[in-house]
Chain A
Amino acid sequence: EVQLVESGGGVVQPGGSLRLSCAASGFTFNNYWMSWIRQAPGKGLEWVVNINQDGSGKYFVDFLKGRFSVSRDNAQNSLSLHMNNVRADDTAVYYCARSGGYGWDLWGQGTMVTVSS
């Protein structure tokens, strides 16, 4: 089955770190750009980062540069988002998504991150 499954969300204190993972299956992972998109509770969608097929190209939204990083392991068909120095406004559902070059044609169910003391 073609799918993306996120994991790693939870409650983290302000200033803490968290690593989100996304497991891909059912398609040739290393053929696709991948992305993380987030959605704060009751709010709209916000693009976080794109990473190209071999991981050499990473494009972040400006205000997250320096705090978040992204990586992929094509041998394991996995994508990761490393979140550092998290803040309350990082609270959101984080979605992993596959880029078809024209938008995101496959999404995971999302993993919830709550930043709270």
Chain B
Amino acid sequence: DIVMTQSPDSLAVSLGERATLNCKSSRTLLYSSNNQNYLSWYQQKPGQPPKLLIFWAYNRESGVPDRFSGSGSGSNFTLTIDNLQAEDVAVYYCQQYYTTPITFGQGTRLE
């Protein structure tokens, strides 16, 4: 199974500042035949289902503010949130869909 490890476990960032969340996979998520990284990011607020933010490592889902950006390739990925807003307080998960079992990171709590 591909193990996804996120860091840090929690992160406190001031409003208006930048948050940097990391995700590392135990195997490459880069599929050579299409040069795509099979990595998504989700945001989950208390009492709500997760919301897809980023797919293919850096593509923003429709309606997601451009303050959110994804980067990285292979086995190291980053979610960056610029100009942090109060509504960004949530738990963020990375997820690989390179192979089954589909696996998630343990989450980073952003405060």
- Residues of A near any B CB (own CB < 8 A): 44-47, 50, 59, 61-62, 95, 97, 100, 102-105, 107-110
Contacts and interface: CB of A to CB of B under 8 A. Distances in A.
A47 B55 contact: no
Contacts of B50: 45, 95, 104, 107
Nearest to B49: A107
Q: Give the size category of B's interface with A.
A: 20 to 34
Interface string B32-70: 000000101010100011111001100101000000000
B104 A105 contact: no
B49 A44 contact: no
Contact of A44 (B38, B51, B56, B93): B93
Contacts of B56: 102
Contacts of B49: 95, 97, 107-110
Between B40, B61, B95, B102, the greatest number of chain A beta carbons within 10 A of the residue's beta carbon is seen for: B102
Given A105-B61, A108-B49, A110-B49, A45 B55 contact: no
